[in-house]
Amino acid sequence: MSAKILITGGAGFIGSHLADALLARGHHVRVFDNLSPQVHGKDAGVPDYLSPDVEFMRGDVRDANALRQALEGVDAVYHLAAMVGVGQSMYQIDDYTAVNDLGTATLLQLLIERPVKRLVVASSMSIYGEGLYEDEHGALISNATRSAEQLKKGQWEPVSTDGLPLTPIATPESKQPELASIYALGKYAQERMCLITGQAYGIPTTAMRFFNVYGTRQALSNPYTGVLAIFASRLLNGKAPRIFEDGRQRRDFVHVKDVARACADALDRPESAGHAINIGSGNIYTVEQIAATLARTMGRQDIAPEVTGEYRVGDIRHCFADLTNAEKLLGFRPEVGFDEGLGELVEWVASQTAEDRVGEADKELRQRGLVA
Ligand code: UD1
C-alpha cells in the first residue's frame, strides 16, 4: 500500500538512495533537510541527484515548527538527519549534541502529539567501539580496547589482559556498547530515545546500525566522510591517500543500495520493530586493501598510498557485522559485491569535482591531539 513517508536528512548520501527505493515502491516521499554546507557545499540548493518526485522541505531538525509542518499527513518517518564526523564530534561537542540528541528529541516530542505508524532511525556501528574478539581459548572478549601507551608504541592490535593476541569475529547486536566518541554517544542516544519512545507510544520503531556505507553521492568534499570517499577524492586530485596505523585495520563495507533496500524493507517487516539491527555486508577489507583496489580501479597505481603510522584518537581496529538478525528480522541479504560497488563508485567519482579539504580537517584534529 502506498504511504506518505518523511525522510529527515533525505538529501544526503543514504537518505537520497532511500528516497529512490521508496519512490520505486510507489510511496510518496517528503524530504526534510537543512542542506548542511559541510555536506552540500556553501549556499547549495537541492542536490541534482535528488529525485524530482521528492517533495523537498528545507529545515533544521531542531526547529520544532518546521518539523511539525514536515510531519503533516505522514504515515512513517525515517530519521537520518545527523552530523556524521566522528573526529569532528570530538571538538564540536555542542553542535553534535544539539543536532543529534536534541534534534531527535524534537522529532520524538512532536510524534507524541502526532504518532506515526512506523519509525526507523539511523544508528551506527560506532556504538560498539571495538568489535567482538575471541581469545586463544575461544572465550569472547567484548571490551577489547587499545591504550594510549600501546598506540604510541605502534602496537595496533588489541591484546588480552595477558598481552596475548586476540582474533576479531563478527559482532552481533548483543555486544555491549563501548562509546568512544561524542558521535557514538549521540547515535546510541538516538537509537535508544527512538526505541523507548516508540515502545511507550505504540510506534513500531527499528534502529539500523549501519557499518561502513559507501557508494555514489557520498560527500566527496566533506573531509569527515568515510575512508573510501576520502581516498577517492584524494586520488581524483592526484594526491596520495593517507593511511593511519599500518593499514591492516579491517572494516565491513556495505553498499548504499543494500542499505537503502534494508531500510525500505523495514516498512513491511513488523517483526523488526523494537530492535536495533546490524546492516553490513560481510565484505571485509583492510584499509590497505581498499587503498590499493581503489587506486587500481581508478587507474592511479602511480600514486602509492602513504602509510603514516599515525592514529586517530577514538578509532577502532576491527569491526564487522554479524548479519544473523538482519536476515531473520528483515530478510536482509547484501546483494552488491565489493568489486561491482567500487566500479560504480569510481565511474561516478570520475564525473565529479571534489575539493580536497582533508588537510584542513587534519589540522583541526592535530591541533587538539586527536591525530597523533
Ligand atoms: C566511523 C564510524 C562510523 C561512521 C563513519 C563515517 C567508528 C568506529 N565508526 O567509521 O559509525 O558511520 O565513521 O562517519 O567510529 N582512515 C585512513 N585514512 C583516512 C581516513 C580513514 O587510514 O584518510 C582509516 C581510519 O583510521 C579507520 C578506517 O580508515 O581505521 C575507516 O575510517 P572511517 O571511514 O572514518 O570510518 P570508521 O572510523 O570505521
Q: Which of 79, 16, 81, 82 is nearest to 53 (CA)?
A: 16
pLDDT at 214: 96
The response to whether residue 8 sits with its C-beta less than 6 Å from ligand 1 reads: no
pLDDT at 365: 73
> Hey, what's the torsion of the CAs at 27, 28, 32, 35, to 10 degrees?
80
pLDDT at 359: 77
The residues that bridge with 77 in the sheet, in sequence order, are: 6, 119
User: What size, in residues, is the chain?
Assistant: 372
Q: What is the whole-number distance in angstroms between the Cα of residue 228 and the centre of ligand 1?
A: 9
pLDDT at 358 over 80: no
Per-residue pLDDT tens digits for 23-72: 999 999 999 999 999 999 999 999 999 999 999 999 999 999 999 999 99
The response to whether residue 229 sits with its C-beta less than 6 Å from ligand 1 reads: no
pLDDT at 357: 74
Domains in the chain, please, with CATH?
4-367 (3.40.50.720)
CA dist., res. 183 & res. 365, Å (int):
15
Q: What is the mean pLDDT of residues 226-241?
A: 91
pLDDT at 252: 98
Q: What is the whole-number distance in angstroms between the Cα of residue 347 and the centre of ligand 1?
A: 23
Per-residue pLDDT tens digits for 145-187: 999 999 999 999 999 988 899 999 999 999 999 998 999 999 9
Q: Is 8 within 8 Å of 33 (Cβ atoms)?
A: yes
Query: Which of the 8 DSSP states describes residue 321?
Result: B
Q: Is 7 within 8 Å of 21 (Cβ atoms)?
A: no
pLDDT at 331: 98
pLDDT at 223 over 80: no
The response to whether residue 227 sits with its C-beta less than 6 Å from ligand 1 reads: yes
The response to whether residue 254 sits with its C-beta less than 6 Å from ligand 1 reads: no
pLDDT classification of 355: cutoffs 50, 70, 90: confident
Q: What is the mean pLDDT of residues 92-118?
A: 97
As a whole number, the mean pLDDT across the chain is: 94
pLDDT at 366: 81
20: left (phi over 0), alpha (psi -120 to 50) or beta: alpha
The response to whether residue 218 sits with its C-beta less than 6 Å from ligand 1 reads: no
Mean pLDDT comparison of 86-90, 164-168, 216-220, 361-365, highest-scoring range: 164-168
Query: What percent of the chain clears pLDDT 70, i.e. is strictly above it?
Result: 100
Q: Is 105 within 8 Å of 193 (Cβ atoms)?
A: yes
Q: Which of 41, 20, 106 is nearest to 71 (CA)?
A: 106
pLDDT at 341 over 90: yes
**Whose CA is closest to atom 7 on ligand 1?**
126
Task: With residue 306 as reference, give the H or E element that holds it.
Answer: strand 306-307
pLDDT classification of 356: cutoffs 50, 70, 90: confident
